Amino acid sequence: MGEAMFTICWSCKGGSGTSVVAAALAAVSALKTPTILVDLAGDQPALLGLTTPEQGIGEWMSNKMQLEFGDLLMKCGKNLSVAARGVELLPDHNSADWNYLSRALSQIHDQAINIVIDAGISPVSKTLWDVADTNYLIIRPCYLALRKAVEQNRSTTGVILITGGDRVLTRRDVQSVLKTEVVAEIALDPEIARRVDSGLLHSRIPPALSAALSPLLTHLVSI
């Protein structure tokens, strides 16, 4: 038996593939373990073929007495649930309101439920960052992205590298610049785009994504 996962997927530059990686990681996790995908970036319902709800995390954080966090969850297959961002803007990352979300997710995590957060490129609240077990920087081998990552200087568990195109920078270059291990490498694949466009990413996980991300889950609980 291992431990349940509580991880944050984030990036320092838009277009890096963070939402796709977060969705795929959650979908792979859900093959064996109940998993909640927490969408702070706002794209997961569309990415997974779900209807965007009128009430989500933004509404829950601004009006906590009238909504239970569990009421936000949308089923997306047998073991996967999604907490969408909703319509209302999320509070500033320094707001004390993030304590409510951190506490709710910690309680869920204690029930041996895996949690994957899609943080996109937004700053992550320190309280949420502190309760997560791991966090992964999703990045392409791009000079501008590496420059932003160095400027932000956020501590990360590891890098998930999205490769493809005519980039000159290599895996070794990325590791050298960021002084962090590349824990997974995903090549751009038209099949991934097709699954996303058809809303089938969670139910028909592309082999390239499954092969790259499954090793990150090997120590976790299976239920």
Closest among 211, 223, 220, 159 to 24, alpha carbons compared: 211
What does the pLDDT look like over 188-205, one tens digit per residue? 888 888 888 888 888 888
Mean pLDDT of 59-76: 84
Domains of the chain with CATH codes: 6-217 (3.40.50.300)
- C-alpha distances (whole Å) from 145 to each of 25, 33, 90, 162 are 22, 33, 24, 12
- C-alpha distances (whole Å) from 97 to each of 75, 160, 187 are 25, 29, 38
Q: What pLDDT shows up at residue 11?
A: 97
d(CA 189, CA 183): 19
Q: What pLDDT shows up at residue 3?
A: 76
Report pTM. Answer: 0.93
